[in-house]
Amino acid sequence: MSDTPSNTPNEPRRPGPMYVNRRGEMDWSGIQTFMKAPVCMTPEDLRAGKVDVAIGGAPWDGTATGLTGTQLGPRAIRQGDYIAGDRYIHHLDVRVNPLDHLVLADYGDAEILTGNTEGTYENVRSFVGEILAGGAIPIILGGDHGITWPAATAVADAYGHGKVGIVHFDAHADTAPDQQGSLYGHGTPMRRLIESGAVPGRNFVQVGLRGYWPEPPVLEWMEENDLRTHFMAEIHRDGFGTVLERAVDEALDSADHLYISLDVDVADPAYAPGTGTPEPGGLTSGEVLWAIRRLAAEVGMVGMDVVEVSPPYDVGPGITALFARRAVMEALTGTAMRRIGLTQPAYVDPRSAGTGSSRTYRSLKED
């Protein structure tokens, strides 16, 4: 008889998702996978489980400026709130439970090489590539915004360079030519994506820019490369609903596939204080969540990242991490809506909108 324990990590196992939590454990207890989703470790696991969306972490903070701590973001976003696992995620606005229509898994974290930016970025690119090879949509939890360069490049590798567009929610353009002489940085990823050819400038739709950066030469470079940028000044003038309609239209005509990049500092610090470079005068958390859901439902997405959550600077019960978590849930809800055909502009269930009773809603469905 072998002396090797039966539960050794080296023991072969059949591919497929692994459930690491007991049924009914609350989100704040047990092992903190995202929404208590099962764990997958390989593309074979994802394929065997027919996983639609995989949550992955990129706990990298090596190129952040300002306040640090974003390497703790993935853990904080995964960590539960009052929602009990997968039992209470019936979205009240649209009356859809995304887990009724999608198979969700947690793919763990990319390998981070402390002090080695280039090696870490290569690992993130490979990590996201694994999720895509497994047939799932990657949603990557950062980490600083520098991880968008390798993550979005991996998506472009899968779908074709030049065929992916990015809707980029941020207070900052992240199009700096370098960061203190380095091409790697959380202020440079969009420029790197454009200059590499992975995502052309015209395929960028930016929403929420404000403050005192970038300087004129960088703005000129953005204009020369045809980025479609919506500043807070435009939102103040025309209203967020109108600007979001423009962004949705641009996302639909800019590329064949959509990647969403959400820097939580697009929201005003009143809603997202736990971030590295807070900038007053931003969007509300409600506006951002509404926008994410609409893009996922009306345009459809092939990848997403949520970045710049810095738990050491968060307040209360981790309101910034909770906001980031809800953004992922809105993306899941929108993706489920698209799957079942709820792609009407700004769709809301009539019962929640106050425009129809349950009986009226049933008659509308029957018609």
What is the tens place of the pLDDT at every residue in 324-366?
Answer: 999 999 999 999 999 999 999 999 999 999 987 654 445 445 5
Cβ-based neighbours of 36, under 8 Å, separated by 6 or more = 21, 25, 27, 30, 80, 85, 86
Strand, coil or helix: 26: coil
CA–CA distance, 140 with 308 (Å, rounded to integer) = 12
Q: Is residue 16 part of a domain?
A: no
Pairing assessment for the beta strands 137-142 and 303-307 based on DSSP bridges:
parallel
pLDDT digits (tens, 9 = 90+) for 308-333: 999 999 998 899 999 999 999 999 99
Q: Is residue 39 part of a domain?
A: yes
CA–CA distance, 342 with 285 (Å, rounded to integer) = 23
Q: Domain span at residue 56?
A: 34-366
Instruction: Give the pLDDT of residue 64.
Output: 66
Q: Is residue 123 part of a domain?
A: yes
- CATH number of the domain to which 53 belongs: 3.40.800.10
Q: Which residues of the chain have pLDDT under 70?
A: 1-10, 64, 66-67, 82-88, 180-183, 357-367
Instruction: Give the pLDDT of residue 88.
Output: 65
Per the CB < 8 A criterion, the answer to whether 165 and 258 are in contact is: yes
Per the CB < 8 A criterion, the answer to whether 45 and 135 are in contact is: no
CA–CA distance, 47 with 44 (Å, rounded to integer) = 5
Q: Is residue 19 part of a domain?
A: no
Q: Is residue 3 part of a domain?
A: no
Residue type, 350: P
Q: Is residue 75 part of a domain?
A: yes
Instruction: Give the pLDDT of residue 23.
Output: 79
Per the CB < 8 A criterion, the answer to whether 160 and 203 are in contact is: no
Number of structural domains found in the chain: 1
CA–CA distance, 133 with 319 (Å, rounded to integer) = 34
Token digits for 298? 């009306």
Instruction: Give the pLDDT of residue 5.
Output: 43
Q: Is residue 27 part of a domain?
A: no
Q: Is residue 84 part of a domain?
A: yes
Instruction: Tell which residue, 54, 60, 9, has the closest CA to residue 34.
Output: 54
Global model pTM greater than 0.85: yes
pLDDT digits (tens, 9 = 90+) for 216-250: 999 999 999 999 999 999 999 999 999 999 999 99
CA–CA distance, 182 with 326 (Å, rounded to integer) = 33
